[in-house]
């Protein structure tokens, strides 16, 4: 991905203008064969867990954020029974897309971010009105540092008004830097839940990012149609709506972030 290049990913269709590699890597489209993966678009809200922190610049760092191939589906026995994931097993996109609930623990460590990807801005806007709903910024030094941010938070809480649940489409813009290693097949999978109900799964191919680059991408999200009862329950029970965000490079999990959401009338817009 070239510096400051913007991509838009639309529901059921992706528009990618990123460059191909110079021969050492694969093109943006060289992803794992996930023909049965669920494609979607949804609110770019992903991070969370136990290490909660204040809003603002540190929260924005939280955005720095299971097996393929063969006739047999990964993680399934010959009888078609999905096997339980065990610690030490590879965490791949196929397994993540089969999760049925919010994860209790992080499925990777901060040290797995070997590409030193660091998020500096996250903005959400309503596509219909153009109104900016959320804009979190983090100071980004002129020189890109090739260091792993072990103290970066991986959990964040968002507070939105109930009207957020009536939106049909939003755009979520991410700005981030990459360290000394090129990132090939950079991919984000988000899973959003209310309690144990999967609201929607979102899968975005970010693509190839060159070393020491600053990058911008915008994901276009089509929000799910929810039943009135579900919306009422989500409003009445703040922070019981949660999400896992999984970031992959070459189908290897490198970042896992968690988030919780409040849609209470008393919520102060933004993150907490």
Cross-strand partners of 3: none
Q: Do 221 and 171 meet the contact criterion of CB atoms below 8 Å apart?
A: yes
pLDDT in tens, 77-109: 444 445 566 767 889 999 999 999 999 999 999
Quick one: pLDDT band at residue 139, thresholds 50, 70, 90?
low
Region class of 130: left (phi > 0), else alpha (psi between -120 and 50), else beta: left
Q: Tell whether the model's pLDDT for residue 262 goes beyond 80.
A: yes
> What is the model's pLDDT at position 162?
96
Q: What is the mean pLDDT of the chain?
A: 75
Neighbouring C-beta atoms of residue 137, cutoff 10 Å:
13
Q: Is the pTM of this model over 0.85?
A: no
Q: What are the two backbone dihedrals, phi and then psi, of residue 233, each rounded to the nearest 5 degrees?
A: -70, -40
pLDDT in tens, 14-51: 333 333 334 344 434 444 444 444 444 333 344 444 44
Neighbouring C-beta atoms of residue 4, cutoff 10 Å:
10
> What is the model's pLDDT at position 235?
97
Percent of the chain scoring above 90 in pLDDT: 55
Residue 188: closest CA among 124, 242, 244: 244
Report the distance separating Cα 21 and Cα 150, nearest Å.
Answer: 29
> What is the model's pLDDT at position 72?
36
> What is the model's pLDDT at position 31?
46
Give the 3-state secondary structure of residue 233.
helix
Domains parsed from the chain with CATH numbers: 8-21+40-66+89-271 (2.70.50.40)
């Amino acid at each position: 991905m070239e510096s400051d290049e913007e991509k838009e990913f639309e529901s059921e269709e992706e528009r990618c203008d990123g460059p191909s590699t110079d021969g050492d890597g694969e093109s943006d489209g060289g992803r794992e064969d996930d023909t049965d993966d669920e494609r979607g678009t949804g609110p770019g809200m992903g991070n969370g867990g136990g290490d909660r922190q204040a809003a603002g610049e540190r929260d924005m760092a939280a955005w720095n954020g299971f097996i393929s191939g063969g006739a047999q589906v990964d993680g399934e026995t010959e009888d078609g029974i999905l096997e339980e994931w065990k610690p030490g097993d590879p965490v791949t996109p196929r397994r993540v897309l089969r999760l049925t609930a919010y994860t209790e623990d992080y499925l990777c460590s901060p040290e797995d971010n070997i590409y030193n990807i660091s998020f500096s801005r996250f903005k959400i806007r309503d596509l219909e009105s153009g109104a900016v709903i959320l804009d979190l910024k983090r100071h980004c030094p002129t020189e890109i540092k090739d260091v792993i941010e072990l103290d970066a938070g991986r959990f964040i809480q968002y507070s939105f008004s109930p009207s957020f649940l009536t939106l049909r489409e939003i755009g979520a813009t991410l700005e981030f830097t990459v360290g000394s290693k090129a990132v090939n097949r950079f991919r984000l999978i988000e899973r959003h839940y209310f309690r144990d109900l999967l609201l929607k799964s979102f899968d975005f191919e970010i693509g190839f990012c060159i070393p020491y680059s600053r990058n911008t991408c915008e994901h276009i999200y089509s929000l799910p149609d929810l039943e009135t009862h579900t919306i009422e329950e989500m409003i009445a029970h703040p922070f019981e709506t949660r999400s896992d965000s999984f970031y992959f490079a070459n189908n290897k999990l490198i970042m896992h972030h968690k988030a919780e959401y409040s849609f209470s009338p008393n919520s102060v817009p933004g993150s907490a």
